[in-house]
Amino acid sequence: MSGVLPPDVEKLFNAALVGELTVVSSSGRPITYPLIPLYDGRYVYLTSAALFSKKLRHIKANPKVCFSLTDPVAVPIQPFARATVQGDAEIIEDDPHSGWEELLPLWRAKEPIIDSFVKKRFGIPLFFERSIIRIDPRRVLYWPDGRTETAPQVFEVSEVGR
Amino acid sequence: MSTLTSVEAVRRAASYNHAVLSWVDADGYPNSVGAPFRSNPPSTVVVGPLAEGARPPAGSEVCVTFSHIRPQRGVGYDERRYINLWGTAERDGENIRLVATRATGWDEAETPFFEYAERNVPQARSYLESLGANVRLSRFWMFFLATRLPFLTATIAPVALGGAVAARDGAFHWGWFLLTLLGACAVHLGLNIANDVFDDANGADAANVTPTMFSGGSRVIQYGLVSRGAMVRAAVAFYCLAGFIGVALAATRTLTLLWVGFVGVVLSLVYSAPPFRLVHRGLGEPVTALGFGPVMAVGTYLALARAWSWEPVLASVPVAVLVALILYVNQVPDRRGDAAVGKRTLIVRWPKQRVVATYTALAVVAFAVLVLNVVFDITPAWTLIALLPAPLVLKVRRGLLAHYDQPYALMSYMQDNIVLHFATGTLLVIGYVLSNFFG
The answer on pLDDT for A161 being more than 70 is no
Q: What percent of chain A has pLDDT over 90?
A: 90
Asked if B20's CB is within 8 angstroms of A32's CB, the reply is yes
From chain A, the residues in CB contact with B53 under 8 A are 151-152, 154
Asked if B76's CB is within 8 angstroms of A111's CB, the reply is yes
Name the residue among B30, B117, B223 with its Cβ closest to that of A30. Answer: B30
Mean pLDDT, residues A67-71 taken together: 97
Are residues B84 and B70 in contact, defined by beta-carbon separation less than 8 angstroms? no
Query: Which residue, B158, B163, B236, is CA-closest to B194?
Result: B236
Residue B120 touches chain A, beta carbons under 8 Å: yes
Residue B149 touches chain A, beta carbons under 8 Å: no
Q: For all residues of chain B together, what is the average pLDDT?
A: 95
Query: What is the C-alpha separation between B344 and B251, in angstroms, rounded?
Result: 40
CA dihedral B354, B358, B361, B363 (to 10 degrees): -140
How large is the ipTM? 0.95
Query: What is the C-alpha separation between B144 and B147, in angstroms, rounded?
Result: 6
The answer on pLDDT for B75 being more than 90 is no
The answer on pLDDT for B63 being more than 90 is yes
The answer on pLDDT for A159 being more than 70 is no
Query: What is the C-alpha separation between B418 and B326, in angstroms, rounded?
Result: 6
The whole-number pLDDT of residue A131 equals 98
Mean pLDDT, residues B77-96 taken together: 95
Mean pLDDT, residues B406-434 taken together: 96
Burial class (CB in 10 A: 0-12, 13-18, 19+), B230: middle
Residue B213 touches chain A, beta carbons under 8 Å: yes
The whole-number pLDDT of residue B76 equals 80
pLDDT digits (tens, 9 = 90+) for B236-247: 999 999 999 999
User: How far apart are the CA of B117 and the nearest CA of chain A, in angstroms?
Assistant: 6
Query: What is the C-alpha separation between B387 and B369, in angstroms, rounded?
Result: 11
Which of helix, strand or coil describes residue A69? strand
Residue predicted with more confidence, A52 or B76: A52
Q: For all residues of chain A together, what is the average pLDDT?
A: 94
pLDDT digits (tens, 9 = 90+) for B273-319: 989 999 999 999 999 999 999 999 999 999 999 999 999 999 999 99
The whole-number pLDDT of residue A99 equals 97
- Top residue of A149, A153, A154, A155 to mutate, by most chain B CBs within 10 Å, is A149
Residue B78 touches chain A, beta carbons under 8 Å: no
Are residues A126 and B117 in contact, defined by beta-carbon separation less than 8 angstroms? yes
The answer on pLDDT for A1 being more than 80 is no
